[in-house]
Amino acid sequence: MGEVQIISTCLVVATPNESISIPKNISKIEMTPWDLQFLLVNTIQKGLLFHKPKDENNNIPISSLIDHLKTSLSHTLCFFPLLTGRFSTVKNTDDDTISFFINCNNIGVEFIHANALKLSVSSILDSVHVPIFVHHLFPLNNTRNFECVTKPLFGVQITELVDGFFIGCTMSHCLGDGTCFWHFFNSWSEISRGYEVISKIPVLKRYFSEKMEIPIHLPLKLDDEKLSEKIEVPQLVERIFHFSKESIGRLKGKANSEIGVNSISSFQAYLAHLWRSVTRCCKLDDKEEVSINVIIGTRSRLNPPLQEGYFGNAAYFKTVKTTAGELLENGLGWAAMQINKMVAAQSFEEVMKFYKEWVEKPMLFTNASVLVGNKIGISSSPRYNIYGVDFGWGKPVAVRSGKANKNDGKITLFPGIEEGSVDIEVCILPETMQALENDQEFMEVVTTKA
């Protein structure tokens, strides 16, 4: 791991603050199709970079910081009993299938204290490409979700830098999506700042459609040798491109103007710009198929909508396909409209269609399936409250992701520090990245540091 050294590792369990009343914990949580689809892939890994906290006289000792974060984490976990548990399985002998559920047994989350005293905040912030050592700032690397029968479902790593610290968190994707991940991160920071009760209590009851038999039966064998096969991932490079609010506004205006509409959103405009730019830089034959995978949130699409605070996955992926020639010849507006039409078609009926068809024929994502070429996959969201995570020593200066689920064409979206801006983390082959960085049409939208 080079510059990063592990100082200590332990398990942190949920310990209630004796001065307050914690909602009664539940012992078992069933899993939905939205949860189970991620069993065979990796976890969610996101982390925040902070300057070192200071009191009136000097830096706060790292030992005090670690103790405080560990204690506040323990209290926060009382509101999220599923994070300290493990997956459990049941073999269904009648049809030779397996079922999963979350056992809220409070075994604990992994907590790592590490240091990297040769690294600074600027070594992360000022690097053109994301340094490879960033991947070592996260716990539970190379963990796939189904392995959390024995491994922790959640992990935290606090890494001390020469002038700052990094809090990296890893969560099993079968527990919840990005909305849930940042719900917990924000809640932990509230308890750290002195809150006795978090501002948004998680809703732990999972959503199941009417007349659905639970638990869901999966035609899966955990001792299958195929599950342990290692997939060869090509050498990749990552870079974060900053799109200002003004640049995004220009893209949106251009996309709508090109096709004479006013329905293209900012999100659809900059995704179309990115999709066309990466495709152009891949130098594909005009007839080759290209695609973009977009996350479809289901919280507001259900009838009635899911409760605020629903803690579980509530999303699925939809793909827009075309050819390289058609995508590049028809312009930004046309590409954005293809995304727009797909998103607009995701009604309550479509959500339920996906849900019911999945139960009848479960489709699990695999590491191999995401490595198919000529496609980009969108993850995370610029809507998450990332820069509101304040543990009592100030807001973060940057957000980064870990190595989990990284492949050629993986795009991770974050809000920028400035309101209305977006940071787009692009993970692609080195030769494609070099072409992208030299692509004038793409780079004229990117805001670079002075």
pLDDT of residue 271: 97
Model pLDDT for residues 305-317, shown as the tens digit of each residue: 999 999 999 999 9
Between 392 and 16, residue with greater pLDDT: 392
In three state form, how does the secondary structure of the chain look?
CCCCEEEEEEEECCCCCCCCCCCCCCCEEECCHHHHCCCCCECEEEEEEEECCECCCCECCHHHHHHHHHHHHHHHHHHCCCCCCEEEEEEECCCCEEEEEEECCCCCEEEEEEEECCCCHHHHHCCCCCCHHHHHHCCCCCCEHHHHHCCCCEEEEEEEECCEEEEEEEECCCCCCHHHHHHHHHHHHHHHCCCCCCCCCCECCCCCCCCCCCCCCECCCCCCHHHHCCCCCCCCEEEEEEECHHHHHHHHHHHHHHHCCCCCCHHHHHHHHHHHHHHHHHCCCCCCEEEEEEEEECCCCCCCCCCCCECCCCEEEEEEEEEHHHHHHCHHHHHHHHHHHHHHCCCHHHHHHHHHHHHHCCCCCCCCHHHCCCEEEEEECCCCCCCCCCCCCCCCCEEEECCCCCCCCEEEEEECCCCCCEEEEEEECHHHHHHHHCCHHHHCCCCCCC
Of 68, 163, 217, 390, which one is the catalytic site residue? 390
Q: What are the pLDDT digits (tens) for 156-170?
A: 999 999 999 999 999
Q: Give the pLDDT mean for 398-405.
A: 95
Residue 232 or residue 370, greater confidence:
232
Q: Map out the domains of the chain with their CATH numbers.
A: 5-228 (3.30.559.10), 237-443 (3.30.559.10)
Is 390 annotated in the active site? yes
| pLDDT tops 80 at residue 2 | no
The residue among 175 and 209 whose pLDDT is bigger is 175
Predicted confidence at residue 20, as pLDDT, reads: 60
pLDDT recorded at residue 211:
77
Annotated active-site residue in 173, 183, 242, 273: 173
Average pLDDT over residues 21-46: 88
